[in-house]
Amino acid sequence: MKPEIKDLIEISNYYGINKEFVISGGGNTSFKDNQTLWIKANGQSLENLTEDGLVALNREKLHVISSGNYSDDPATREEQVKKDLMQSILDPGKNKRPSVETSLHELIQYKYIVHLHPTLINGILCSRNAKNLSLKLFGESLLFVPYIDPGYTLFKKLESEILLYRQKFSHDPQIIFLENHGSFVGADTTEEIRTIYNDIFKKIEEHIPLISDLTPIPGNSLLQKFVPGIRLLLSDKQPGVIRFRNNSLIAKYYQNQQEFHKISLPLTPDIIVYCKTRYMYVEQASSADKILESIRHQLPRFLSEYGFTPKVIIVKVNLIRHKLRFTLFPMSYISLINSNIE
């Protein structure tokens, strides 16, 4: 194995194993020399990445995508871009598709690129103050890109932003933050990538206080009564799995409709992938029967409106109010992900 590929696998596994940096198949990593770019294949997790899970692409062919004459219709355009991407693959016999974010990796002129969705960074990137906060903490060492749906439009936006940055500073940005999404860090060695990420996390931890009273709330007796019922209601032919989680932060959002509303839409593409775009709220907490009744009542409308059964149901299980020093809004979401129905 090329030593550079060994380093790439090592750093991928290092970040992939920690859910604070990336979950499931999210994030991607790459290495490039003058002719070839090696990138994590689609659907692979960073945690288990091996050399076999990489796709090698011809960089010259990848450049076609930048000047491609593609359709205005987003769906057709994405298909056309995908076709050009597939044509750059050096070993199509391996039957692996490159990550959809491959062209973003090609844009940044460092040998190694590590793209993650870290909870800590997304805490800033999903906040209302994302841009100001990012620039305040990292100044011009960072390129901030406002939210754009992943795909070709994001690629074109990033391309023009990097060009401007390059003109101004005569080098590429080593840190790129994508609003409501995650981070790209580029460097010529994986050691430098680690140093940069460590510095980023240190700086955020120093400047933004974490929620100090995230206390778990133990399950109450109601739980045993209504959880099996929910499982029955939502299981198809295959029985589903339900995970329940309750803590002082989640409690803040189930106390009433108004609070629930604040977390009722997804904040990142990851949340869309794993939890879908809408969640069900059950304000009824008096008895297990009433909770189930409310879900049964809401379900047909939920299905017809959104076209899927809920992955996340937020139930007002108790009426204890908690005082929270509450800073990182999306943290709550990460908690909710774990209470999804798989």
- Applying CB under 5 A, the residues found at the interface with Zn ion are 182
Distance CA 67, CA 44 (A): 29
State which H helix or E strand residue 95 sits in.
none
Count CB atoms within 10 A of the CB of residue 259. Answer: 16
User: Which residue's CB atom is positioned nearest to Zn ion?
Assistant: 182
Is the Cβ of residue 182 or residue 310 nearer to Zn ion in the bound state?
182
Nearer to Zn ion, 182 or 266 (CB): 182
Nearest to Zn ion of 16, 182 (CB atom): 182
Chain-centroid distance, C-alpha 56: 24
Closest approach of Zn ion to the CB of residue 181, in Å = 6
Query: Exposed e or buried b for every residue in 303-338, given b needs 16+ CB within 10 A?
Result: eeeeeebbbbbbbbbeeeebeeeeebbbbbbbbbbe
For Zn ion, give the closer residue by CB, 121 or 249: 121
- Taking the least distance from each CB to Zn ion, the nearer of 184 and 254 is 184
Of 183 and 340, CB closest to Zn ion: 183
Minimum CB separation of residue 150 from Zn ion in Å reads: 7
Output the smallest distance, CB 320 to Zn ion, in A: 37
Radius of gyration of the chain from its Cα atoms, rounded to whole angstroms: 22
Q: Find the shortest distance in angstroms from Cβ 152 to Zn ion.
A: 15
Q: How far apart are CA 47 and CA 67, in angstroms?
A: 34
Tell me how far, at minimum, the Cβ of 49 lies from Zn ion, in Å. 15
What DSSP designation does 341 have? B
Taking the complex as a whole, the smallest distance from the CB of residue 268 to Zn ion amounts, in Å, to 8
Give me the helices (H) in the chain, please. Answer: 3-16, 59-62, 64-67, 74-87, 102-107, 119-125, 130-138, 152-169, 190-207, 221-234, 248-254, 257-261, 269-275, 288-306, 331-337
